[in-house]
Chain A
């Protein structure tokens, strides 16, 4: 008997995804103890860290005990890199001969982090992604295009293998340029794709400007999985992508050091945490207290239960989000959080007010008269902070400049409590980004 057609089923694993909360928590506790003991016994780094803190595997009996386990920061992993076993150092829990995969972080904020995975870990990556893609509606009838430069960044590698596992037909968009990728998607009638929100919007722009194609009408994409940036959880950006492509857009959050830990479902209201594979804690960045109530913003601390080569235990991601309170109509019992608001490093005080770059994106992307690209620069004039927002008017909207200026300043004031200098630039003149965009520049410290 061949693989059964799975269209009509809702969950990748209903046993886990609809497990009652108290059982889910029991599973999490057991799995935390297992990975903790594994790391304690097999990694000099973890063993030393926990011995210094006076915590042994037998001490982990409750979630309260987990809170006493020291967090791991990126800098601690970086300090170990370059030492034996080369290049990972003593964070490694397996002999080098068992490492089959190398990936690294992009290193946008500091030195890149090297990440080792065994073959089992690699299977685990694609298993985590299988939960994601199944929730996004991928099935064995889909033809999935992946416009990703397959390289040292983990990005959509595991999405590729998960799509295969689901029975999809996968088209690797590798070294093709943007125009060639669009034409290949059109030629093969691809039904789904995975990319960063920035690149998905960029592709739609190139399709219109350079190929005279309207992706919503001339291509066949029905669903898009976004990752790498928070855009797909920002309502105005999601709407913009969905309109440009005539497709449903789903967010997914993951990280090289952590794994693929959260995903939207068909309800598109918040990100489900894959709680059978990850423990997610949200912590008050000031006090370190664990936040349980909905809507209170905090910093994410994540444990991956089943990653063995280079375990991720209470990793301080520095990403900022909040719990969502409601249960989900999809029937999953996995808890939900909001989209990532940014990193604690990016959320900065301007004129004494906390500013998250994602809030500016939410406002700008809600204006149909404005292009997809924008830039924000924070500078210092004397003792005062100034924010300059650079935007582009779309072709044909030039006559709307004064009205857009007025409305944009009002909306930004409402959303962020801050005033802005607005600069209008020629359409197409602001930098275009291929993968992740760096649109927020804090230039106050550069002088």
Chain B
């Protein structure tokens, strides 16, 4: 996969992350929202470790 493909995936990851954080803010008073959102954020973090972390490294060598 080339750097463009990775950048595109990272864009989606950051977009989902932003949406979930906004959802958490909106649902502050609903435990079912904040806790489930927290779990989703932990999974998003795994996507960052697998994809987003690579981008500065590959950009440096490109």
Contact of A124 among B49, B56, B57 (CB under 8 A): B49
Binds B, one of A18-26, A42-50, A241-249, A420-428: A18-26
CB neighbors of B among A120-135 (8 A) = 120, 122-124, 127
- CB-CB nearest in chain A for B48: A306
Q: Take A15-B6, A119-B38 as given contacts and tell me if A23 and B49 are in contact as well, using a CB distance cutoff of 8 Å.
A: no
Q: Are B42 and A123 in contact (CB under 8 A)?
A: yes
Query: Number of contacting residues on B, CB 8 A?
Result: 19
Q: Is A269 an interface residue (CB 8 A)?
A: no
Instruction: Flag whether B43 is at the interface (Cβ < 8 A).
Output: yes
* Chain A, Cβ-Cβ closest to B5: A15
* Chain A residues within an 8 Å CB radius of B46: 123-124, 127
Q: Is B50 an interface residue (CB 8 A)?
A: yes
Let me know if B22 is at the binding interface, CB within 8 A. Answer: no
Q: In the complex, what's the smallest C-beta–C-beta distance from B48 to chain A, in angstroms?
A: 10
Interface residues on A, range: 20 to 34
**What B residues does A120 contact at CB under 8 A?**
41-42, 45
Q: B58 near A: Cβ within 8 Å?
A: yes
A31 touches B (CB below 8 Å): yes
Closest residue of A by beta carbon distance from B49:
A306
Nearest residue (CB) in B for A127 is B46
A127 & B57 in contact (Cβ 8 Å cutoff): no
CA distance A135 to B6 in the complex (A): 23
CB distance from B10 to the nearest CB of A (A): 12
Interface residue ranges, A against B (CB under 8 Å): 13, 15-16, 19, 22-23, 26-27, 30-31, 118-120, 122-124, 127, 276-277, 306
Chain B residues in the interface with A (C-beta under 8 A):
1, 6, 38-39, 41-43, 45-46, 49-51, 53-54, 56-58, 60-61
